[in-house]
Amino acid sequence: MAVQRSIRSTTQSVLTALLLLASCCLAQGCRSPHKQHSSGLQAWRSGDVHSSAKRLQKASSPLNAEKDILLLDQSIIDLASGEPAVAESRLRTARDRLDYLTQKNAVEQTTAVLSDSRAVAWSGREFERAMLVNIAMLSSLVNDGQDAWAWSLQAMQTSRERRDTLTAAGTNNSGTAVLADDSTATTAGSQTVTPASFEKRTPPKITAETLDQPLALAAYLSAIVHSEKPSETAETEQALQDVRLWNPRFSTAAAGKLTPLGIQCRKTHGTLHVIVLAGVAPEWVSESCEPTSAALLIADQILSAQSKYKLPPTLFSIKIARPQSRDQGRAELTPGAAVAGSGIGSERRQLGFSTIVDLREVADASYQAGRDKAIADAVVRRVIKKGTVVAAKAMSSDNLDWKADLAMTAIGVGWEALEKADTRSWSTLPSAVRIAAEELPSGEYSLDLWTRPLSERYPVHAQPVKVRIEDGRNTCVLLTMPADRITGAILLGGADRNIIPAP
């Protein structure tokens, strides 16, 4: 009996200490907001590139737990500051780190159950990891271009894997089995021999989802990389087919077509690409929601597989993260561009932009796809926390007075209430990536860039740029525009590399 009492006392102490430790850790986390990081992002949204870079630099201390997010946030600001090499270096480091962090860690998973999902190291959402490769490829294209080919191979591999996944799903849904025609079968002895069929089967039709839009940008940039080499014509064609697959609405020419790239152009012609990172991606905020039937089913399966706990008959609302655009008017900013030069005579040709990635749509699709799983995980944590409090009370039932019972209940309620939604995200991503392309004769041109809200008739904040087009080459102009005017550097890559400082 003494041994049993000792065991019960020890278990009670462990459970009580666990409750106190969890509450204290969460409370400490709540008292340590990343003020410099937040203020830097606020400056970025207002278009203050210099201030945002300075504040994010102060936030990137060696002890910062979210240094991977800081690397990504800083990379976009590096591009706006005219430092593509620094941006690419940060992105390469972040990619290696995120590849490592996508692996599950038992300690983190356990800590997350006892606290919330923020205890797991941030490895980015799927579309954010795809955009990392895209921004890195862009950084290389407007720099020396040395690593653009390697980034394009990674992007094309991801595209190929996604295409194979959709093809396999389409095959399973439609079925490809072909029944033998009994009239063509012959009998040899006791066996039936059916002639081999060499009929070419039509591959299943696949349809891309909104979440696949970042792959369209990856394919377009890959086409730019490969289109200048005659030996890589097949790669170029495949990349352009992928652009049409992942975002059929995107076009840079009339009748929904794409402008010729590189050596696809007519003789003595090249291609001008104006790529705009417009606006700021939606901010992920906390949302209180009731558990859905699908979420409860997933949670019940998780609990049944991992513990003895069961779902309680009633559950209060839980918190998950959802995307929210701060300024819809700014998100609709329309970039404008017009080119003039001797190669096209006296005319001033205006370029038309098309959206290849709308990250507002992509973020919402990511939220919808993962909503039930996020709710289920929160429900599992809620049940385990409730179960831990109940178990601690049961262990102390012999000598638990009303004060201790009230204290343990208060700790349990506080433990649950301190749980927060995981709103971590790559905050400096644009709200959309818009591209204009034009096939032009070789020569020098004057390119005017401006921003124009849809509500205004005339362009504002025009910025002149000198560009040079070479035969069979691609000239890329990259513009980062988080606010309603051009405040960052304009980067030129390809046929004529240059950096035009911020105005």
pLDDT at 253: 86
Burial zone of 253 (CB within 10 Å; 0-12 exposed, 13-18 middle, 19+ buried)? middle
Q: What does the pLDDT look like over 295-352, one tens digit per residue?
A: 555 555 555 555 555 545 445 577 888 998 776 555 566 788 999 988 888 788 989 9
Q: Cβ distance 272 to 445 under 8 Å? A: yes
Q: What does the pLDDT look like over 261-292, one tens digit per residue?
A: 999 999 999 999 999 999 899 999 988 877 66
CA 499, distance to chain mean position in Å, is: 27
Q: Is the pLDDT of residue 73 over 80?
A: yes
Q: Is the pLDDT of residue 61 over 70?
A: no
Q: Is the pLDDT of residue 251 over 70?
A: yes
> How is 146-173 classified by DSSP, letter by letter?
TTHHHHHHHHHHHHHHHHHHHHHHHHHH
Q: Which residue has the higher pLDDT, 205 or 71?
A: 71
pTM of the model: 0.80
HSE-CB for 62 with a 13 A CA cutoff: 0
In the chain, % of residues over pLDDT 90? 41
Cα separations in angstroms, 327 against 247, 262, 334, 453:
25, 38, 14, 12
Q: What does the pLDDT look like over 441-486, one tens digit per residue?
A: 999 999 999 886 655 555 666 788 999 999 999 999 999 988 878 8
pLDDT at 10: 46
Q: Could you tell me the pLDDT band of residue 65, with boundaries at 50, 70 and 90?
A: low
Q: What are the E-state strand segments in 293-351? A: 318-324, 334-340, 348-351
DSSP 205: P
Q: Is the pLDDT of residue 499 over 60?
A: yes
Q: Quick one: which H or E segment has residue 179?
A: none
- List the single range of 87-101, 209-223, 302-316 with lowest mean pLDDT: 302-316
Q: Is the pLDDT of residue 426 over 80?
A: yes
Mean local confidence (pLDDT), 106-134:
79
Q: Is the pLDDT of residue 18 over 70?
A: no
pLDDT at 358: 95
Q: Cβ distance 218 to 366 under 8 Å? A: no
Q: Which residue has the higher pLDDT, 400 or 478?
A: 478
Q: Which residue has the higher pLDDT, 179 or 90?
A: 90
Q: Cβ distance 222 to 214 under 8 Å? A: no
In the chain, % of residues over pLDDT 70? 68
Q: Cβ distance 353 to 436 under 8 Å? A: yes
Where do the domains of the chain lie?
1-170+207-282+328-359+386-503
Burial zone of 195 (CB within 10 Å; 0-12 exposed, 13-18 middle, 19+ buried)? exposed
Q: What does the pLDDT look like over 374-386, one tens digit per residue?
A: 888 777 777 776 6
Q: Is the pLDDT of residue 496 over 80?
A: no
Mean local confidence (pLDDT), 187-199:
50
Q: Which residue has the higher pLDDT, 318 or 250?
A: 250
pLDDT at 190: 47
Mean local confidence (pLDDT), 163-191:
59
Instruction: Indicate the average pLDDT of the chain.
Output: 78
Give Cβ neighbours of residue 121 (< 8 Å, ≥ 6 apart). 68, 101, 105, 108
pLDDT at 420: 80
Q: Cβ distance 278 to 430 under 8 Å? A: yes
Q: Is the pLDDT of residue 403 over 80?
A: no
